[in-house]
């Protein structure tokens, strides 16, 4: 266990998830080119159980206050680590995080000092009770809405990166369906020897919040990947649910409703693999999500709806065709 003086008070992050703006799933080669955001550094990828590729992380400098639930003023300087992720050639994510630590000095250092610690933000304000400040920062993440002015805004960094990738000339900007971008704000902190746990809340149709508690810094280091996996599966649930609702409004137009169902089955259903890309140390947290709110139960219910609709539409079309031949 590290010295509490150097242990991160909290790790803060945000993940934005959207549909890749292209008419077809991207090939591995296109994904590699799309995510080559840092010259000379390679894109990390794996092909099983579903393709996943991550760009190299870039360091984004920050010098601002930190949002606190109590209103305490905390000035921080450092960098946020930002990267883009593509899953199954179909889903794009921008992921940003920074670990908040105490500074050994109340004076701001040269930028070279902070750039040498990518993804670390130092609190210049003197901190006497690290646990209390960490809890204060976590509770601030739970507050919905736009971060207060002049405070750390990881969402704007995430949005900037997402737009940069989405506007790449290799993408044809023709999507098979319209899907909303979701935002997952998260915070993680260490409670020594605690079992990993999660608080997951829906702020509204597009914004989510997650608080992760882990027992040591080894687990803390892999929370960003867990949150990317969580954001992906929440997005899949959100998108499929929205498309089913849209199909419900098109009962007067059977062909259009069937097209919606077929599109979902073709483009996103195969991406549902909860925990498959989560770090082993945090994979057990998925059991909490399966219990409450019941991610897989919700997903299976939606998929049954899609397949039942397709079956009914097929039977109806066969009946109409048979009826037409009989009348002839």
User: Would you write out the chain's pLDDT as a tens digit for each of its 328 residues?
Assistant: 455 556 799 999 999 999 999 999 999 999 999 999 998 899 999 988 899 999 999 999 999 999 998 888 899 999 999 999 999 999 999 999 999 999 988 899 999 999 988 899 999 999 888 889 999 999 988 876 677 788 999 999 999 999 999 999 999 999 999 999 999 999 999 999 899 999 999 888 889 999 999 999 999 999 999 999 999 999 999 999 988 888 877 665 567 778 888 888 888 999 999 988 899 899 889 888 888 778 888 988 888 888 877 776 666 656 566 656 665 5
Cβ atoms within 10 A of the Cβ of 302, count?
A: 20
Output Rg (C-alpha) for the chain, integer angstroms: 22
| Residue carrying the six token digits 């077809």 | 24
Is the pTM of the predicted complex or chain greater than 0.85?
A: yes
Q: Secondary structure of 160-190 in the HEC alphabet?
A: HHHHHHHCCCCCCCCCCCCCCCEEEEEEEEE
Q: Which residues are paired to 63 by β-bridges? A: 77
CA quadruple 141, 147, 152, 158: dihedral positive or negative? positive
Rounded Cα gap, residues 317 and 312, in angstroms: 9
């Amino acid at each position: 266990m590290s010295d509490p003086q150097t242990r991160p008070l909290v790790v803060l992050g945000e993940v934005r998830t959207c549909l890749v703006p292209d008419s077809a799933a991207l090939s591995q080669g296109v994904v590699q080119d799309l995510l080559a955001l840092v010259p000379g550094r390679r894109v990390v990828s794996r092909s099983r159980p579903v393709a996943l590729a991550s760009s190299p992380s870039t360091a984004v400098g920050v010098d601002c206050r930190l949002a606190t639930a109590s209103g305490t003023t905390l000035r921080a300087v450092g960098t946020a680590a930002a990267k883009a992720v593509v899953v199954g050639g179909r889903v794009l994510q921008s992921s940003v995080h920074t670990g908040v630590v105490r500074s050994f000095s109340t004076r701001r250092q040269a930028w070279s000092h902070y750039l040498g610690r990518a993804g670390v933000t130092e609190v210049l304000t003197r901190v006497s009770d690290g646990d209390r400040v960490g809890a204060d920062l976590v509770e601030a993440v739970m507050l919905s809405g736009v971060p207060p002015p002049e405070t750390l805004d990881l969402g704007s960094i995430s949005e900037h990166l997402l737009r940069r990738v989405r506007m790449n000339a290799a993408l044809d900007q023709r999507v098979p369906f319209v899907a909303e971008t979701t935002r997952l704000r998260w915070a993680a902190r260490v409670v020594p020897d605690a079992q990993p746990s999660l608080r997951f809340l829906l702020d509204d149709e597009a914004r989510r919040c997650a608080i992760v508690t882990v027992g040591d810094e080894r687990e803390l280091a892999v929370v960003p990947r867990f949150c990317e996996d969580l954001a992906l599966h929440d997005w899949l649930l959100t998108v499929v649910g929205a498309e089913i609702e849209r199909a419900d409004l098109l009962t007067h137009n059977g062909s259009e409703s069937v097209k919606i169902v077929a599109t979902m089955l073709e483009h996103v259903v195969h991406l549902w693999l909860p925990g498959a890309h989560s770090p082993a140390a945090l994979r057990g947290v998925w059991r909490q999500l399966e219990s409450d709110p019941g991610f897989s139960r919700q997903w299976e219910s939606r998929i049954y709806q899609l397949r039942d609709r397709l079956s009914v539409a097929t039977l109806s079309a066969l009946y109409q065709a048979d009826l037409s031949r009989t009348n002839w």
